């Protein structure tokens, strides 16, 4: 499973890892005539969140998301209305959990793992997307990068969780379906597990570390973590 003992703390990314971002597709289908522009928008959102951190700047993830929508609309030469933006915000706050999430979290909690989340999104919303998805009760703590004003994969974001829990980063395993997130976690000293959600894959290039576990979904990952396989 892991090269040494299994970490006792599992830290989950939220957007796309736990919550299904295809819930946002209708906005992109209507505005752009192509639901798959969602992937272009999300890639730009991630790119510019990381660029802001590397440049020593910070703007909340939600505001960057709106800006990225306007930018992609300009690229495609389409119009975005305030109603479109309002719908995107509403859908971002109400994304449902993937079908494998509740059964997997139930099994992991019953197996004795401590479960946390770490997200680039704001943690001050009420109710939070996790609460709206009915997942909040599974987690001992939920963390947002807004506490440090840096986006993942900055090492400060993972250390934030370790310091708050008074543990070493090596005691934690970061679960995400984005390789840039697992790479950042590994660089900060965490273990990592990659979920190959549709639209995501590992990067087969020299010098790019592989995650400790690669799994097709949370069910398979939970089997690995609990020693079923």
Please report, for the domain that includes residue 28, its CATH number.
1.10.150.240
Calpha distance 166→150 (Å, rounded)? 20
Q: Is residue 82 part of a domain?
A: yes
Element (H, E) at 213: strand 213-215
C-alpha dist (Å) from residue 58 to 46, 139, 147, 149, 153: 13, 27, 11, 6, 14
The domain of 137 spans 9-20+95-225
4 in any annotated domain: no
Compute, in degrees rounded to 10, the torsion defined by CA atoms 156, 159, 160, 161: 140
> In the prediction, which pLDDT does 227 show?
84
182, pLDDT greater than 80: yes
CB 9 within 8 A of CB 167: yes
Residue 184 — pLDDT band, cuts 50, 70, 90? very high
Last residue of a domain, one of 93, 109, 141: 93
- Label residues 183-207 b or e (16+ Cβ within 10 Å = b): bbbbebebbbbbbebeeeeeeeeee
| Same domain flag for 45 and 124 | no
Q: Are residues 81 and 167 in the same domain?
A: no
Do 177 and 99 belong together in one domain?
yes
Instruction: Specify the 3-state DSSP secondary structure of 214.
Output: strand
Whether residue 72 is found in the same domain as residue 27: yes
Residue with tokens 């290039």: 205
Q: Are residues 89 and 34 in the same domain?
A: yes
Query: Measured between alpha carbons, how far is 126 from 85 in angstroms, rounded to an integer?
Result: 19
Give the integer Cα–Cα distance in Å for 21 and 102. Answer: 17
Helix (H, G, I), strand (E, B) or coil at 10: strand
**Claim to verify: residue 124 and residue 218 sit in the same structural domain:** yes
Q: Are residues 46 and 158 in the same domain?
A: no
Q: Same structural domain for residues 84 and 139?
A: no
Burial class (CB in 10 A: 0-12, 13-18, 19+), 77: exposed
Whether residues 14 and 125 fall in one domain: yes
Residues 200 and 104 in one domain: yes
Mean pLDDT of 39-47: 97
**Which residue, 76, 93, 110, sits at the end of a domain?**
93
Domain count, the chain: 2
Give yes or no: residues 139 and 154 share one domain.
yes
Across the range 25-49, mean pLDDT stands at 97
Last residue of a domain, one of 61, 93, 125: 93
Confidence band of 73 (pLDDT split at 50, 70, 90): very high
pLDDT per residue as tens digits for the range 152-168: 999 999 999 999 999 99
Question: Which three-class secondary structure string do you get for 133-197?
Answer: CCCHHHCCEEEEHHHCCCCCCCHHHHHHHHHHHCCCHHHEEEEECCHHHHHHHHHCCCEEEEECC
Res 2: pLDDT: 54
Are 132 and 165 contained in the same domain? yes
């Amino acid at each position: 499973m892991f090269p040494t003992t299994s970490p006792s703390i599992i830290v989950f990314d939220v957007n796309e890892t736990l919550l299904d971002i295809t819930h946002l597709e209708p906005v992109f289908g209507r505005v752009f005539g192509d639901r798959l522009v969602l992937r272009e928008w999300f890639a730009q959102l991630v790119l510019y969140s990381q660029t802001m951190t590397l440049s020593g700047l910070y703007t909340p993830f939600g505001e960057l998301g709106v800006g990225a929508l306007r930018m992609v609309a300009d690229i495609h030469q389409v119009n975005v209305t305030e109603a479109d933006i309002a719908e995107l915000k509403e859908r971002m706050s109400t994304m449902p959990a993937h079908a494998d999430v509740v059964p997997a979290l139930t099994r992991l909690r019953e197996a004795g793992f401590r479960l946390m989340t770490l997200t680039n999104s704001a943690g001050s919303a009420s109710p939070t997307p996790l609460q709206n998805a009915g997942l909040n009760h599974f987690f001992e703590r939920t963390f947002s990068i807004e506490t440090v004003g840096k986006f993942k994969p900055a090492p400060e974001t993972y250390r934030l969780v370790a310091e708050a829990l008074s543990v070493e980063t090596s005691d934690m395993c970061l679960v995400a379906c984005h390789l840039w997130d697992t790479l950042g976690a590994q660089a900060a000293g965490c273990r990592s597990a990659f979920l190959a959600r549709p639209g995501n894959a590992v990067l087969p290039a020299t010098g790019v570390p592989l995650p400790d576990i690669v799994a097709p979904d949370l069910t398979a990952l939970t089997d690995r973590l609990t020693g079923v396989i």
